[in-house]
Structure 1
């Protein structure tokens, strides 16, 4: 993989969300992120998955790593908004990728 790598563990895995925000469905490879606690956050009536670095109960988080463009990453930043922040992580596969965690 040589482009921008993004690890998705929640709504960004949904092809409908991908088409709406990137203009196409994405293809990726399964991977895992260790050392984070999976939780949820609420925005109005909506509930979203979120990761907390370390946190009270770190467990492996299964997801998909996508190779995207810098423009796609900017679109993902806009989609995630102020509820999340983007950080670099090393996945179980030893790949470094971006992931969105609790802001």
Structure 2
């Protein structure tokens, strides 16, 4: 199983159903050294699923005082590919360590 951290639209039930075909369950987690910004989305399918055209995006700050709260989901490798397809080119997937010491994937600014 893979672990995927969401701080934005992947936490929305409709996006989960559209992307994974099911509702995900996860645990609260905190990512340090990143800050949240926004990005304008133009992909019509992503806008239709999320209902918004401005999404959150993470930028690495290197500042331990910068934290982002979200949910760490356990998903399959196949579901991770579906998440990759959902995220637009403004994002890239990287593996990170969380405050708890757990590791997982997160989408950050490309």
Q: TM-score, normalised by structure 2?
A: 0.86
Superposition deviation, residue 35 in structure 1 = 0.2
1:76 is matched with which residue?
83
How large is the RMSD of aligned CA atoms in angstroms?
Answer: 1.8
Q: Secondary structure at the match of 1:82?
A: coil
2:46 is matched with which residue?
none
Q: Could you say if the C-alpha distance between residues 49 and 55 of structure 1 is closer, same or farther in structure 2, counting changes exceeding 3 Å?
A: farther
User: When the two structures are aligned, how many residues end up with a matched partner?
Assistant: 101
Which residue among 7, 10, 17 is the counterpart of 2:8? 10
Please identify which structure carries the higher strand content. 1
Q: Secondary structure at the match of 2:80?
A: helix
1:88 is matched with which residue?
95
Q: Could you say if the C-alpha distance between residues 102 and 94 of structure 1 is closer, same or farther in structure 2, counting changes exceeding 3 Å?
A: same
Q: Are the aligned partners of 1:37 and 1:55 in contact in 2 as well (CA < 8 Å)?
A: no
Which residue among 26, 29, 45 is the counterpart of 2:27? 29
Unpaired segments ≥5 residues, structure 1: none
- The 1-side partners of 2:41 and 2:27 are apart by 29
Q: Secondary structure at the match of 1:75?
A: helix
